[in-house]
Amino acid sequence: MNPSPSSFPRLILASTSIYRRQLLERLGLPFDVQSPQIDESRLPDEAPEHLAKRLALAKARAVVQPDTLVIGSDQVAALGTEIFGKPGSTEKAVSQLKKMSGQEVIFHTAVALIDGRNGFEQCENIPTRVRFRPLDEAEIRRYLEREPALDCAGSAKCEGLGITLLDALTGDDPTALIGLPLIALARMLRAVGAGLP
């Protein structure tokens, strides 16, 4: 038997990302949003998948309170050992996409859920392999003019026009690449008693 909504802990998304908020809305659970204030710097020699998981947990830990369930998530795009974060400027986005042209990039999307009632923590990393087609600078700039993806790791929004930059993608969860792996998150929420189908 699922708990009634009034007895279920308050659900908090520890993120200011509009993409994560829109994805979480698909689950039909009421939630609040809080901005986690954490240092997102990479540690020396830190593997991309470890960085994504560490930051997802750190974001959730930053806002957890008793009687809350907190979701944290982070995404790291990696080409070998090189990591691509949110570009923040058009020139950085151009540079990122030039480097990724014709390459396979792994997007590590980690999701964490912390139960503030007992401190129970769950965290998973969901990798998505993305193969970019060969891109010239004119194509890249036309793309960024139409869809500035300055707030997206790797500078390409697969849920929008960015899909035209790709040759292929493979992964276990189509929502992971957008920024919040809902299959893993739903599994975590069911484990703590959320009323999901």
Q: d(Cα 74, Cα 66) in Å, to the nearest integer? A: 23
Asked if residue 4 is part of any domain, the answer here is no
Asked if residue 1 is part of any domain, the answer here is no
What was the pLDDT predicted at 7? 66
Asked if residue 196 is part of any domain, the answer here is no
Asked if residue 120 is part of any domain, the answer here is yes
Q: d(Cα 99, Cα 103) in Å, to the nearest integer? A: 8
Asked if residue 143 is part of any domain, the answer here is yes
Query: Three-state SS across 54-88?
Result: HHHHHHHHHHCCCCEEEEEEEEEEEECCEEECCCC
Q: d(Cα 36, Cα 163) in Å, to the nearest integer? A: 30
pLDDT tens digit at each of 197 positions of the chain: 344 445 679 999 999 999 999 999 999 999 999 999 999 999 999 999 999 999 999 999 999 999 999 999 999 999 998 999 889 999 999 999 999 999 999 999 999 999 999 999 999 999 999 999 999 999 999 999 999 899 988 999 999 999 999 999 999 999 999 999 999 999 999 999 987 88
Which secondary-structure segment (H or E) carries 121?
Answer: strand 120-132
Q: What is the pTM of this model?
A: 0.92
Asked if residue 164 is part of any domain, the answer here is yes
CATH of the domain at 112: 3.90.950.10
Asked if residue 153 is part of any domain, the answer here is yes
Full domain range(s) for residue 42 = 10-191
Encoded tokens for 65: 């309170």
What was the pLDDT predicted at 48? 95
Asked if residue 115 is part of any domain, the answer here is yes
Picking from 102, 161, 160, 172, the residue whose alpha carbon sits closest to that of residue 131 is 102
Catalytic pick from 67, 74, 115, 167? 74
Number of domains in the chain: 1
Residues in contact with 193: Cβ distance below 8 Å, sequence separation at least 6, in sequence order: 2, 3, 8
Q: Is 74 a catalytic residue?
A: yes
Hey, what amino acid is at 112?
Answer: A
